[in-house]
């Protein structure tokens, strides 16, 4: 079956620090990979996606590269801001498989001034 | 214009009551979903509709009944509310059925059963 494993949080950083949130997956078939962000009191928003190996998704300074050899899709940002404090979800979806993507359990990020 | 809108945003009610949550999307998407998020942020799929047709019904108690009058609307009715139903409920939509599409989520309905 499909599964997504994210690092446990919370991740606590100072403003302008470098961010990495690890995500690894197992999948039958060739998945698309996603990162979603959930700000406090809001719904999830699609942050970035990648659909094939070696693709890099990027948005708002965040990046993630689809690494098939290590089955990973780690989220990175070079310099975090207080406003990046949120819960980040890694997810995968396999075309032609289950209709529903598989979500990780979320990683909380807290950025201090 | 909000893409996926849910009402109400907050719902506080007593055990045993019946309540409804409404969802509307203006994206022209074919597929809509209901998710439940618990206090630890874990997301669980409840239902999925594609063009008004139920395609996914996970192991959800019969007290929960979705209804899709058209492909832009998906409502959730809950009978005989229990304490364990307290959670945040999210509506979402995608262009078509398939797990490789990105989802657009509503802002959630926080249900508190007392």
**Which of A11, A31, A99, A104 is most worth mutating to test chain B (most B CB atoms within 10 A of its CB)?**
A99
- In whole angstroms, give the CA distance from residue A35 to residue A21: 10
Does A17 touch chain B if contact means CB atoms closer than 8 Å? no
- Tens digit of pLDDT per residue, chain A (113 long)? 889 999 888 999 999 999 999 999 999 888 999 999 999 999 999 999 999 999 999 999 999 999 999 999 999 999 999 999 999 999 999 877 667 889 999 999 999 99
Q: Do B98 and A102 touch (CB under 8 A)?
A: no
- In whole angstroms, give the CA distance from residue B52 to residue A77: 40
Q: Do B98 and A38 touch (CB under 8 A)?
A: no
Does A44 touch chain B if contact means CB atoms closer than 8 Å? yes
């Amino acid at each position: 079956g499909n599964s997504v494993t994210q690092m446990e949080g919370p991740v606590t950083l100072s403003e302008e620090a470098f961010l990495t949130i690890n995500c690894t997956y197992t999948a039958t078939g060739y998945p698309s990979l996603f990162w979603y962000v959930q700000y406090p009191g809001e719904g999830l928003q699609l942050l970035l996606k990648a659909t094939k190996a070696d693709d890099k998704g990027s948005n708002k300074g965040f990046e993630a590269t689809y690494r098939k050899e290590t089955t990973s899709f780690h989220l990175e940002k070079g310099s975090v801001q207080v406003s990046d404090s949120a819960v980040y979800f890694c997810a995968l979806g396999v075309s032609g498989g289950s209709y529903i993507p598989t979500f990780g359990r979320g990683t909380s990020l807290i950025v201090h001034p | 214009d909000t893409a996926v809108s849910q009402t109400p945003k907050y719902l506080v009610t007593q055990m045993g009551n019946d309540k409804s949550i409404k969802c509307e999307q203006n994206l022209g998407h074919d597929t809509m979903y209901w998710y439940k998020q618990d206090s630890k942020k874990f997301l669980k799929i409840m239902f999925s509709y594609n063009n008004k047709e139920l395609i996914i019904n996970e192991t959800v108690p019969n007290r929960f009944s979705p209804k899709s009058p058209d492909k832009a609307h998906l409502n959730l009715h809950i009978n005989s509310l229990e304490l364990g139903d307290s959670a945040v409920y999210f509506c979402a939509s995608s262009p078509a059925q398939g797990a490789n599409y990105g989802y657009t989520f509503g802002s959630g309905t926080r249900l508190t059963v007392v």
